[in-house]
Amino acid sequence: MFPAMPVTLSVDVGRDEQVLLVPRHDNTYASVGVVADVSERMRLAGRGLAVSLTALHRGIPGAASADADGVLRVDVEARPDERPAGTLTQELEREYRAVVDEILELRGDDGRIRAFVRSITDAGALADTAGYSPDLNFSQKLQLLETLDVVERLTLALALQRERLAELQVRKRIHDDVEDGTQKQQREYFLRRQMEAIRKELGEEDGSVVDEYRQKISATGMPDAVREQAERELGRLERMGDANAESGMIRTYLDWLLAIPWDKRSEERLDPSHARQVLDADHEGLDDVKRRITEHLAVRKLRSERGMTETRRSGVILTLIGPPGTGKTSIGESIARATGRQFVRMSLGGVRDEAEIRGHRRTYIGALPGRLVRALRDAGTMNPVIMLDEVDKLGADWRGDPSAALLEVLDPAQNHAFRDHYLDVELDLSQVLFVATANVADTIPAALFDRMEAIRFDGYTTDEKVAIARRHLWPRQIERNGLRAEEVDITDTILRVVVTDYTREAGVRQLERELGTLLRRTATRIASADQPSSVTIDIKAVRDALGRRKVEHEAAVRTAVPGVATGLAVTGVGGDVLFVEAASMPGKGGLVLTGQLGDVMKESARIALTYVKSHARELDIDERALDGREVHVHVPAGAIPKDGPSAGITMVTAIASLLTGRPVKSTVGMTGEVTLQGRVLPIGGLKQKVLAAHAAGLTEVIVPERNQHDLEDVPSEVRERMHFHVVASVDEVLAVALETLEVAKAA
């Protein structure tokens, strides 16, 4: 019995028939040993001695002594097993045999061990058979040896065998669970399924990643097609497990699907009156965009009240086109606040990668959805206001054309089924209110611009700038510079001085910077106790802080001599006034052009010279005046590229003024394209040009006849202060623009 235990012979087996076997571990002897008979003795090769022992019963060692021959003698208290009476022992024996039978069945016994166990009738000996188990460790076997009571020993043996049986059953269950899938999966899959089965036995399966995703997908109001896609990806994740390298990509994909607010929408406030109040409170002017937003809300309100369903083409794509600083971007926030929607801004300036709009395909490392998907995630609703800022500055290169990718986004007939490359599911963008901004419309591709509803931001009048400064810029700069409203005050007259003498822009950014400079100087003086805590800004304080005036009304000085005409142009920053100068000099004839002019302006200059030469007699010009002379046409600010046909009549007027000796009226500005026959053709950007002329101190503007209807867009306060000459030919232009001969001679 106990063949796997280390034992120590306590007596000389050469002379005694019985010995005491005591287990030893770490130089420590057990408190109970086994008394055994020496049944056989034999000599081995090399003069070694071998004995055969038969265990009899347990014994408790007592006092030990050595005899004269050096043999250790031990007093042993014999503890043979007593056969217990009662049915408890019989029940334990039957259950023990049953457990051992199940263990042997799971381990694949051939029947010999089962027969050996059944042949044992003594309860104590039956319990001692547990010591043969290779799965018991030393301490368990020692505990079994030291249990003297038969019932307790049998109970302990039964408990140990039950543990072995449970372990074998778990192994068998794991093996059975995995066996069905081993034909399709590799060894790694087999081991992973074992881990899952072990977690299941430990009760840890409730917190698995797959179940967590499944619960989130069920709780998200995804469309059926999207839910099916998510379930397919979740099935792939479940089959491959967390250890696979692709599992991280699948989890990222599922996270993005769950991040989209599929069933969440802001409760839109369909109140046109409230929306107009909010827009009027936040922005001065801009009546066109305010009117369009209120119209949009009014239509939606009527359709909602009358039970009409929304159509797929009901989406609004507003495009605000105008110079910088005119409030295009900030009005998007006001629209969101007026309609009760969330607001998200997407800056598209310099974007050249199509994937920024449509997303990357999942085959690429580090793939992500496009900006529209991210905008919906940030907004948390499916009907936000999305500001597409600087849409005219989109680029294109070998990575694709982002402007072409926007065609589907901004088409109300298509964006209900927008498909992002990363998600590869349809997104309904028809409820999104898109607001795009641009400085100029010329650089927006025609196909994209066709899908937009353009609203022009042509700049502010002086009165509007003063009102904006009073209501918005001045309070904001007071707070930014650490002041209080009661500490500093400024009149509208002084604000007008800042507007007219220090800014010439369509927007108000430079105006806000000038006001910031003025308030910083004031804050410095207040902090240094150089002036009272309550200050009223006067003209002296403005000059001290901002220096001499930066804007001069120089039309009268520049046009005092013949050969200089005042033209009106539109640039990327709004309307502007430019002077066209002409001079003649001895030479071989021809035309010299300077001022970094584009091809169109160069053609306009050649057309102007040709017209003047061909109509010299009608203009009272000596037909031989240009013989042996060159004409030089220059447009100052040569560092700035200039192009466009609207300077045609200005160049004709400058050359005609030079050759007739009649100066151009200092109060007149002009714009219009010219033909070889002297027709004046229409131009664009009339409102911006008129506002620039008004800011420059001009009081008369010559405009083409076919642009007469555009004068309605000019603010009424500007129209009342200026006189407009509507012309159809160059003759009418020269009659209005040139001084009379009497005035020219008097000058």
- Compute the average pLDDT of residues 548-560: 77
Domains of the chain: 7-79 (2.30.130.40), 87-135+149-176 (no CATH), 208-259 (no CATH), 311-328+339-456 (3.40.50.300), 462-546 (1.10.8.60), 555-746 (3.30.230.10)
- Compute the average pLDDT of residues 635-655: 85
pLDDT score of 300: 80
> From CA 663, how far away is CA 528, in angstroms rounded?
54
pLDDT score of 745: 57
pLDDT score of 5: 40
Q: What is the 3-state secondary structure (H, E, C) of 579-623?
A: EEEEEEEECCCCEEEECCECHHHHHHHHHHHHHHHHCCCCCCCCC
Under the banding of pLDDT at 50, 70 and 90, the label for residue 700 is very high
Catalytic residue list: 646, 689
Q: Is the pLDDT of residue 593 over 70?
A: yes
The DSSP secondary structure of 472-528, one letter per residue, reads IIHHHHHHHTT--GGGEEE-HHHHHHHHHHH---SSSHHHHHHHHHHHHHHHHHHHT
pLDDT score of 475: 92
CA–chain centroid gap for 250, Å, is 19
Contact 114, 101 (CB under 8 A): yes
Strands 18-25 and 28-29: antiparallel
Under the banding of pLDDT at 50, 70 and 90, the label for residue 183 is low
Question: Which residues does residue 73 pair with via DSSP β-bridges, in sequence order?
Answer: 65
264-283 core/surface letters (b: 16 or more CB in 10 A; e: else): eebebbbbbeebbebbeebb
Output the six-digit token pair for 403.
């402007």
pLDDT tens digit string along 648-689? 999 999 999 998 888 999 899 999 999 999 999 999 888 889
pLDDT score of 4: 35
**CA-based nearest residue to 346, from 332, 365, 366, 325:** 332
Output the six-digit token pair for 615.
């109509």
pLDDT tens digit string along 233-292? 888 887 776 667 788 888 888 999 999 998 888 888 888 888 889 888 888 777 877 888
The residue type at 237: L
Which residue would you say has higher pLDDT here, 386 or 49? Answer: 386
pLDDT score of 9: 43
- Compute the average pLDDT of residues 298-304: 83
> From CA 483, how far away is CA 531, in angstroms rounded?
14
Average pLDDT, the chain: 83
Contact 385, 375 (CB under 8 A): no
Q: Is the pLDDT of residue 704 over 90?
A: yes
pLDDT score of 251: 87
> From CA 486, how far away is CA 469, in angstroms rounded?
17
pLDDT tens digit string along 408-461? 888 887 888 888 889 888 888 888 888 999 988 888 888 888 888 888 887 788
Q: Is the pLDDT of residue 403 over 60?
A: yes
pLDDT score of 381: 92
pTM: 0.64
* Percent of the chain predicted with pLDDT > 70: 91
Output the six-digit token pair for 200.
């299941």
pLDDT score of 6: 40
Place of tokens 């009901």: 314
pLDDT score of 603: 92
pLDDT score of 729: 93
Q: Is the pLDDT of residue 730 over 60?
A: yes
pLDDT score of 402: 86
Which residue would you say has higher pLDDT here, 533 or 157? Answer: 157
Question: Which residues does residue 581 pair with via DSSP β-bridges, in sequence order?
Answer: 564, 634
pLDDT score of 187: 63
Under the banding of pLDDT at 50, 70 and 90, the label for residue 16 is low
Q: Highest-confidence range of 14-28, 103-117, 223-237, by mean pLDDT?
A: 223-237
- Compute the average pLDDT of residues 725-734: 93
pLDDT score of 581: 92
> From CA 5, how far away is CA 319, in angstroms rounded?
91
pLDDT score of 431: 85
pLDDT tens digit string along 42-97? 877 777 788 888 888 888 888 878 777 777 778 888 888 887 777 788 888 888 88
> From CA 692, how far away is CA 706, in angstroms rounded?
20
How far is the CA of 278 from the CAs of 232, 328, 384, 442, in angstroms? 47, 16, 17, 32
Mean pLDDT check: name the lowest of 385-399, 450-464, 526-540, 729-743: 526-540
- Compute the average pLDDT of residues 485-514: 88
**CA-based nearest residue to 544, from 533, 534, 554, 535:** 535
Q: Is the pLDDT of residue 29 over 70?
A: yes
pLDDT score of 655: 92
> From CA 216, how far away is CA 260, in angstroms rounded?
12
pLDDT tens digit string along 133-173? 888 888 888 888 888 888 888 888 888 888 888 888 888 88
pLDDT tens digit string along 209-220? 777 888 888 888
